[in-house]
Amino acid sequence: MKERLPKNQLKTTTADGVPLAVGSMPVLEKMFFYERPNGSIFNTSEKDAIRIHKKMKFLGVSNGDQYVATIKELQAKFKEMTMAEIQEAMREAWRREVEIARGNLTPPMLKPLNLGIAGQIQLQGARDEIN
């Protein structure tokens, strides 16, 4: 049976023969970094950061451009690198993002819902349908 890959992925190998599925570029988005009680650090999206912001120690936020730039570089030359080199390069890019984020304590922002024009305008003299 033939293995099915997710859409937009190419199956290939690294220089040391490890199978690798190369996909599309990740979207550039803010990376919010938090520290768990055991001292480990993790990052999350802004949407998830809103839910855990008061529950975990907030370290900071970065825009994620260093990490995405590293992934772009790696995708261009992955066939020349071993899997260990690729993994270490990604870890180093992540560590750079953590250092950039430290001290930038801009909290995650809850985005307002776009209800369309009807939901945003209260017509003068209009009555609330509930009352």
As a whole number of angstroms, the distance between CA 51 and CA 121 comes to 29
- 17-74 pLDDT, tens digit per residue, is 777 666 666 778 999 999 999 999 999 999 999 999 999 999 999 999 988 899 888 8
Residue with tokens 């040391």: 16
- State whether residue 31 is helix, strand or coil: strand
Residue 129 domain flag: no
DSSP 32-92: EEEE-TTS-EEEE-HHHHHHHTTTSEEEEEE--HHHHHHHHHHHHHGGGS-HHHHHHHHHH
Closest CA to 43 of 54, 25, 27, 56: 56
Domain count, the chain: 1
Query: Which element (helix H / strand E) includes 21?
Result: strand 19-22
pLDDT value at residue 76: 82
pTM of the complete model beyond 0.85: no
Residue-number span of the structural domain to which 107 is assigned: 10-120
Percent of the chain surpassing pLDDT 70: 70
Residue 3 domain flag: no
Residue 4 domain flag: no
Categorize the per-residue pLDDT at 10 as very low, low, confident or very high, splitting at 50, 70 and 90. Answer: low
Categorize the per-residue pLDDT at 1 as very low, low, confident or very high, splitting at 50, 70 and 90. Answer: very low
